[in-house]
Chains A and B, each alone.
Chain A
Amino acid sequence: MDFLTLLQVLDSTVRLATPLLLACLAGLFSERAGIFDIGLEGKMLAAAFFSAAIASITGDVWMGLGAGIAASLALSVLHGLASITFRGNQLISGVAINFLAAGLTVLIAQDWFSQGGRTPSLIGAGRFEAIILPGAQSLAGIPLVGPIYSELISGHSVLVYVAFAMVPLTWWLLYRTRFGLRLRAVGEAPEAVDTAGISVVGLRYVAVGICGILCGVAGAYLATALQAGFVKDMTAGRGFIALAALIFAKWRPWYALYACLLFGLLQAVALRYQNIDLGAFVVPVQFMDALPYILTVVILAGFVGKAIPPRAGGEPYVKER
């Protein structure tokens, strides 16, 4: 494998890791606050559709992004209503949201565009264009550093940079602010937070809301930057890979970045090479597809470092009387 091919694979890794990273951080906020969210997939899908639909109608990708975030937030509110206000089962609510998004997106797409559950292809300002970082052209000639800068770091859409910037931001928010401390506390010991006179319900709604915004950006990235338009079920399990990455990262932001890059790399390699011939045996493409899930099960099993979820995760908080 030559240097340029390696760069191309890594470049594709960055593109494929971006939606995973955004969804993973979304899940991180929610689950750190004690609300399990297996509806990441559905929220991304709804955001993908509405961003592509509005972007294609208005011709403005930023309007699309806003619509995507709004759609994802609406589903977040539903999740919050079910799991915080009505103290329902968070997992079942997540399942319902996934199906709701899978069904409604196709239904509305068919009604609005009559193209078999897809949106028209986005062109021009309807898509996020690649940003060429300053100096990318002139530095490209420098050996090693030049191509890395111009090929790998420069030339992505703005949402990619947003996603990567979210990692330190999330870390800072969670570990260096009062809000972050409270957010983490509400996922570990909500009764303590309540005793301190802070609203458990309010904090959890905020966390679920942040989760909705980030999922919205992830979905919009899929439909308006990675691809040009919405197709049925276009998230293709990415929400669950993000969930896997979250567990793999043990609910920590920097590790989430590494996990998403790893899973992105697996996707990039599977996309480029199909079956990989290692000489002694052939690694089938299906194995590469399944690897994120297998790795997550191994991590969950605790054979390679145990993944312990937030203590109050999945349980509705009932105020003591």
Chain B
Amino acid sequence: MDKMPGWADAVLVPLISLILAAILSALVIIGIGEDPIAAFKLMVDGALMRSSGWGYTLYYATNFIFTGLAVAVAFHARLFNIGGEGQAMIGGLGVALACLYIPWPNWYVALIGATVSAALFGALWALIPAYLQAKRGSHIVITTIMFNFIAAAVLNYVLVNVLRPQGAMDPATARFPEPTHLPTFQQMFSTAAEPMFRGAPANVTFFIALLACVFVWVLIWRTRLGYEIRAFGNSESAAKYAGISPVKITVVTMLISGGLAGMMALNTTMGEAERLVMNATEGAGFIGIAVALMGRSHPLGVLLAALLFGFLYQGGAELALWTNIPRELIVVIQALVILFTGALDNMVRMPLEKLFLSMRRTPKPDKRSAQTGPAE
């Protein structure tokens, strides 16, 4: 036995990484002459203590669930989809086209239609990098980065030259028609006596994000395809021997991943802005990387990590409003989380493994005798 127990790997490693990231963030806050404890209190106050704060936290979390799941699904096939940002942008285009050009009778039919459209557009944007990886061996990280920039250019062109209404100045589409407006949490949960989630952008898309978590769990752990994806991710050669087509898995996984990233646009475009604007994604595609890493690519983990980042985002906005700490603090925290849970994973894992080993060491310290001895 030279491994840590499963729970330590799944809970302890990310937790320690998170604490390290938090300590460093606190040092950064001290470095710019602010009080980290007061800052944290302010964040909790603004993000969790009022229902409108929760409304924002959940709104941001919805974005991060989608993009986090997108990265997580790709991780299971050992593919690093860094193109969630671009896929979400193009997904937004899908949402906008569906909402603007199809006369929907009411919001739930519109939501289903827009979901399909968003997923389709996002998936298509992931198809070319996936195909190139599978068939031509082009590194998917590089191609998806390139496709982020190409997506930004495409969106810029379409918004400026095609979808911008006559006479409008800013590069955005017209407002979506009334039947496509999604119910917000304020409309769903407020009673006459007690208004809830006042003014917050959280909307019904949050529940679609929860459904997506369930979908991904079922897909990865309860279907044949999910088994093939995990097998491919663990060992490509073994998967090939078992008759799993690498081309098929790569393409299908990336299509699912791109579709999930594209669905993020439902929340920002259809749920909040009710029109497509230039920078609708606001970097959520990249936060998906941090979320997936922290959530260990498990839907439950992704959900929790997305909630944490939703809290950080809303709390960060509060900080920028009330203190001298700019919003960019969140980008730093995000970077530290990616660094510790992703790149420096071994730095946390190695000492922890040693610790567990020394704790379970039996009174025969000689390694060789332990190996040749009877199984424990």
Contact = CB atoms under 8 A, between A and B. Distances in A.
**Bound pair (A, B):** yes
Interface of A: 38, 78, 81-83, 86-93, 95-100, 102-104, 106-108, 110-111, 117, 237, 240, 243-244, 247, 284, 286-287, 289-290, 293-294, 296-297, 300-302, 309
B154 A89 contact: no
Contacts of A243: 142, 145
Nearest to A98: B335
Interface of B: 28, 31-33, 80, 82, 128, 132, 136-139, 141-143, 145-147, 149-150, 153-154, 156-157, 160-161, 286, 289, 293, 324-326, 328-336, 338-339, 342-347, 350
Given A104-B28, A296-B146, A287 B343 contact: no
Which secondary structure dominates chain A's binding surface? helix
B83 to A, nearest CB: 12
B343 A89 contact: yes
A85 B224 CA distance: 38
A290 B343 CA distance: 30
A106 B327 CA distance: 9
Contacts of B82: 91, 95
Given A88-B343, A284-B161, A290 B153 contact: yes
Contacts of A93: 339, 342-344
B344 A99 contact: no
A51 B155 CA distance: 34
Sort A-B residue pairs by CB-CB distance and give the 3 closest, nearest first: A103-B331, A93-B343, A99-B335
Chain B contact residues: helix, strand, loop or mixed: helix
Nearest to A107: B328
B335 A100 contact: yes
B320 to A, nearest CB: 10
Contacts of A286: 153-154, 156-157, 160
B344 A81 contact: yes
Contact of A106 (B136, B138, B328): B328
A36 B336 CA distance: 20
B346 A107 contact: no
B345 A88 contact: yes
Nearest to A87: B346
B146 A297 contact: yes
B145 A38 contact: yes
A117 B326 contact: yes
**Which of A244, A301, A302 lies at the interface centre, i.e. has the most chain B CB atoms within 10 A of its CB?**
A301
B157 A95 contact: no
Given A237-B149, A300-B146, 12 more contacts: A86-B344, A89-B342, A90-B343, A92-B343, A103-B330, A103-B335, A104-B332, A106-B331, A297-B146, A300-B138, A301-B132, A309-B139
11 contacts: A86-B345, A95-B338, A99-B286, A106-B331, A110-B328, A117-B326, A240-B146, A284-B161, A300-B142, A301-B132, A302-B137
Contacts of B33: 111
A107 B325 CA distance: 7
Contacts of A104: 28, 328, 332
A301 B138 contact: yes
Contact of A86 (B138, B142, B324, B346): B346
B339 A102 contact: no
Nearest to A313: B139
A289 B154 CA distance: 10
A64 B223 CA distance: 58
Nearest to B80: A91
A88 B346 contact: yes
Contact of A294 (B132, B150, B335, B339): B150
Given A95-B82, A284-B161, A289-B153, A103 B329 contact: yes
A297 B330 contact: no
Contacts of A102: 328, 331, 335
Taking each of B28, B326, B329, which has the highest tally of chain A beta carbons within 10 Å of its own beta carbon?
B326
Given A286-B157, A289-B153, A107 B344 contact: no
Contacts of A107: 28, 32, 325-326, 328-329, 332
B157 A300 contact: no
A300 B139 contact: yes
Contacts of A97: 335, 339
Contacts of B146: 240, 244, 293-294, 296-297, 300
